[in-house]
Structure 1
Amino acid sequence: MPKLILLETFLSDKGSLTVLEKILPEGIKRIFYIYNAENQVRGGHRHKLTYNALVCVSGSCKVYNHDGEKEEIFDLDSPEKCLLVEPKDWHTMYDFSKNTVLLVLSNRFYEKEDYIYEKYPKIGV
């Protein structure tokens, strides 16, 4: 099940500082970011082993999540929000605002075999 957390943020007249630490099991092994994705849908998968943390460091987007039992939509509209996505969480990111930068932290290196593209059946159907 995904978990939305507020990241520790320090505000001052010199700017804001937001900290990401101790949020993924086994630490962070891979970092990537998605940008120039306005009018696009990204993701569309889940994993066998990988946990991810998603943060919109600029702009906003929505994340649809289905964990096999529950469907949810999360608004990532602040760099203080971090969505922790477990391996079983089938997810898509969409409704990217202009100039959005979505930062993704992963606890594993990329492995093609770790991806599962098959959707869960719709709930209540």
Structure 2
Amino acid sequence: MEVIKYRFQQHGDERGQLVALEEMRDIPFEIKRVYYMYDTVDGVRRGYHAHRCLEQILIPIHGTCKIHLDNGSETAEVLLDKPYEGLYIANNMWREMYDFSEDAVLMVLASEYYDENDYIRDYDKFLAFVKEENKDK
């Protein structure tokens, strides 16, 4: 499984650091939604879903967390620990976020507006979706 991370350009001096993100330049899609998670309870896993269409970039603005990725045939565990790196997650990828540090803030940039119908929340349905999607390739 290919894990895709984007390393964003940092601008900084003695005053601190700045990262600027632009859709279709730094982010490979038009950004239609931004949200973030924080104060995640110790030991909790989040996510447990995939999407039919939506793409995402996950950026650990503060602290660290791990992401479990599953494409239906392979899995990967990815550590997010740099505020200038973002993890790309395609639509056809099951994801779970876990092992959040106490100070973690995880920002998500999404290619689509929220649509409950785009979510696949049942793992067996996800496997069927991926199988059907790969059949056409």
Say whether the fold is shared (TM-score over 0.5).
yes
Q: Detail structure 1 runs of 4+ shifted over 3 Å in the superposition.
A: none
Output aligned runs, 1:8-87, within 5 Å. 8-21=9-22, 22=24, 23-25=27-29, 27-39=30-42, 40-87=44-91
The 1-side partners of 2:122 and 2:104 are apart by 27
| Cα-Cα RMSD | 1.4
* Larger RCO, structures 1/2 (Cα 8 Å, 6+ apart): 1
Equivalent residues of 1:24, 1:52 under 8 A apart: no
Aligned-pair identity (%): 31
Q: TM-score, structure 2 length as denominator?
A: 0.82
Residue aligned with 2:117, SS: helix
> For the pair shown, which has the larger CA radius of gyration, 1 or 2?
2
Q: Which ranges of structure 2 fall in alignment gaps of 5 or more residues?
A: 128-137
Normalising by structure 1, what TM-score?
0.89
The structure that is strand-richer by fraction is 1
Q: Who is 2:8 aligned against?
A: 7
Structure 1: 5+ residue stretches without partners: none
After superposition, give the CA deviation of every residue in 1:12-45 in whole Å (9 maximum; x if it has no partner): 11110112223132x1010100011132111110
Deviations 1:31-67 (A, max 9, x none): 1000111321111100000001100100000000001
Q: How many residues are treated as equivalent by the alignment?
A: 120
